[in-house]
Amino acid sequence: MASQAIPRGILPRITHPPLPPGASYLNFGRYAVRNAMTRHELQRLKDQLIKANTSPKTGRQLFLPAFKPRTLGHLEKSHDLLTKHGEADEYAWLVSTRVWEEERKGLPKLLVLASPGVNVFSSGHHLEEIQNGSRDEVREIFGLCAEVMSLIRRSPILVMGKIHGFASGAGAQLALATDVPVTSKFLTELVLPGADLGLPCTSPAAGLSRVLGSRTTWLGLARGGGIRDSLSFHGVEVDDPDTKNKETNSRYLEQAAAIFKRPPSEEKSMPHLSVEDTVRRRLSLDEKVDRFVTRLTRRDTQQTAITKWAFWTQIGLRGQPHINADGVQVEGCGGDGFEDAVAFAGRVMALHSQSEVAKAGISQFLHAAAVKREKRQRALEESEGQENVPVTPEVISEEK
């Protein structure tokens, strides 16, 4: 069958490529409704997150515990119980690589949140649902949305966001709620349009302000429209094929030629980009995500999980009174919480250091360092020996 011609401005049908082993897609959205966060799609996201973090062995949901300093005391006790008595309690999966692997056997090591199409990541909440729903129904939708955001934060495995195209309102919040958001320069745009509709994006702003900062988010919330700030300044991975070498971009063009043989989609190219450039940038983003996923899935996921828990726990330490890891109410050190945070984080690292993976990694590093020192010492001794060789008349004669 002859390939169908694609008029200029119409994109070919582009799908997400398979992920490296150990990773799974977290799918959501229907392009027919611009990947809106309908009640159905939010429920689908929730179900996928729970399934990816439910132990096939025990049926338990394995989500990170409360982001509170006192939880550290429970983790320390769990480690001691396991190492000294061989008993596993409810926290053992989070402090032991062996128990983690037993509990999570068959589950993904990483999730990639992705939506169909190219131009729209998500248009946010479905406005018809909001308009036609009662207050209780709308409150349920927003509650379900908050639950999805919470499950992403509490997921022990990382959730990467593959963010392409337009992300509006709650769609922008969802994009930046991921642990590792990966965007594309000129393909990604975050927008808070609610102020222009009479429904300010108060809920999305709560999440965005914790990534972009209060001033940037407030301006976007109050003014409406796009977030006018560089995402790369806010811990977001931004892919730009224009910074890659000629050979890489030539490869993208070759891949694009094959894609253009596919049937056309219903999407047009981005307003400021040609069809060819839109496809090239999407291919570059696909490759960026693939490399990132490969690197992250090679790491020990149990250690990543406890690191994620510890990071978000110490962020909440602001020098205020709190219950510490020993279960004691303390006043806090005041200020910005720096002293409380570093003391807490140091205690977490002490727990880290006792893990099977940390011990193996440290031993491997020390062995490699010792081998390098030995080689340097041998080379130094050999060079010194050559310098100290006595010069005899016979040697001088031979040199002449």
pLDDT tens profile 221-253: 998 888 867 788 788 999 999 999 999 999 998
Look at 66-70, 155-159, 313-317, 355-359 and tell me which has the smallest mean pLDDT.
355-359
Is 61 part of a structural domain of the chain?
no
Is 183 part of a structural domain of the chain?
yes
Per-chain mean pLDDT for the chain: 91
Please check whether residues 151 and 267 belong to one and the same domain. yes
Q: Both tokens of residue 80?
A: 């001691």
Is 396 part of a structural domain of the chain?
no
Is the confidence at residue 206, as pLDDT, over 60? yes
pLDDT digits over 52-62, tens only?
999 999 999 99
Please check whether residues 293 and 307 belong to one and the same domain. no
Predicted TM-score of the model (pTM) = 0.90
Q: Containing domain of residue 320, as a range? A: 301-387
Domain boundary among 244, 279, 297: 297
306 versus 355: the higher-pLDDT residue is 306
Is the confidence at residue 274, as pLDDT, over 90? no
Owner of token pair 């050559």: 386
CATH of residue 254: 3.90.226.10
pLDDT digits over 293-331, tens only?
999 999 999 999 999 999 999 999 999 999 999 999 999
Please check whether residues 227 and 339 belong to one and the same domain. no
Please check whether residues 238 and 136 belong to one and the same domain. yes
Please check whether residues 200 and 254 belong to one and the same domain. yes
Is 317 part of a structural domain of the chain?
yes
d(CA 269, CA 198) in angstroms, rounded, equals 30
pLDDT digits over 370-395, tens only?
999 999 998 888 887 776 656 555 54
Give pLDDT, residue 302: 96
Domain boundary among 255, 282, 297: 297
Give the confidence band of 187 by pLDDT, cuts at 50, 70, 90.
confident
Please check whether residues 163 and 248 belong to one and the same domain. yes
Please check whether residues 185 and 252 belong to one and the same domain. yes
Please check whether residues 165 and 221 belong to one and the same domain. yes
Please check whether residues 206 and 348 belong to one and the same domain. no
Is the confidence at residue 5, as pLDDT, over 80? no
Domain boundary among 297, 322, 349: 297
Please check whether residues 274 and 307 belong to one and the same domain. no
Please check whether residues 355 and 228 belong to one and the same domain. no
Give the confidence band of 350 by pLDDT, cuts at 50, 70, 90.
very high
Is 244 part of a structural domain of the chain?
yes
Give pLDDT, residue 328: 97
Is 102 part of a structural domain of the chain?
no
Please check whether residues 275 and 371 belong to one and the same domain. no
Give pLDDT, residue 394: 56
Which burial class, exposed, middle or buried, applies to 271 when counting CB atoms under 10 A from its CB (0-12, 13-18, 19+)?
exposed
Domains held by the chain: number: 2
Is 59 part of a structural domain of the chain?
no
Is 167 part of a structural domain of the chain?
yes
Q: Say if residues 35 and 117 touch (Cβ distance below 8 Å).
A: yes
